[in-house]
Amino acid sequence: MDFSTFTSTFGLIFLAELGDKTQLTSMALALRYPWKRIFIGIAAAFALLNLAAVLVGKILFLLLPLFWITLISCLLFLYFGYTTLRYSCKVDDEDALPPNASDAIRTAFIMIFMAELGDKTQLVTASQAAQYSNDLLAMFTVFISSTLALWFVSLIGIFAGKQLVKFIPVCWIHRSAGTMFLIFGLAMAWRLFYI
């Protein structure tokens, strides 16, 4: 397993989701249901979403030359960096729980799956996988690191999210993630056009 691929993907996904709706949803669900059941639903949703993202990345590589995949990935990083910074301090009410949820695992799975389907972290995972699509081990590394980052962020939301928000404003967490996206996008642009 390539350590640099693991750490870059893990760090990017972790920062992007820290303080995002996924973490806030995990925190809200944990206030209502047993944490172990919530985590099972969340873990299953993220595993399925990331598997789909990695497979999409593989298909992208088969259909498009590496230059275009890298260019699209670069533009996605820059776009998500811009939008994350632009809306970093915007208050969002879309994370509210549905009024009557009967099963904790199913509720957690559906909420996370629907919230994250096509979200920036899934697209970033797909673009990361597309860059390594000729190397199955690297693609597996992208899948594992992305999934572990999302699980870890969810656990933080479940156990310590409230404490974190007391010390670090959510908008600063979002600003850090946006800046990280921009740095990755600019680094990809540099590699694409100047190397």
Helices (H), 64-169: 66-86, 104-116, 120-131, 136-159, 161-167
On whether residue 104 sits in a domain, the answer given is no
pLDDT tens for residues 48-96?
989 988 887 767 666 777 688 678 778 877 887 788 788 777 655 444 4
Give me the number of domains the chain comprises.
1
Distances (CA, A) of 8 to 25, 43, 125, 145, 163: 25, 21, 11, 9, 26
**At 66, is the secondary structure helix, strand, or coil?**
helix
On whether residue 140 sits in a domain, the answer given is yes
Structural domain span for residue 11: 3-90+118-194
Torsion, Cα 96 98 104 107, to 10 degrees, reads -90
On whether residue 106 sits in a domain, the answer given is no
On whether residue 105 sits in a domain, the answer given is no
Whether the model clears a pTM of 0.75, i.e. scores above it, the answer is no
Q: What is the mean pLDDT of residues 32-50?
A: 88
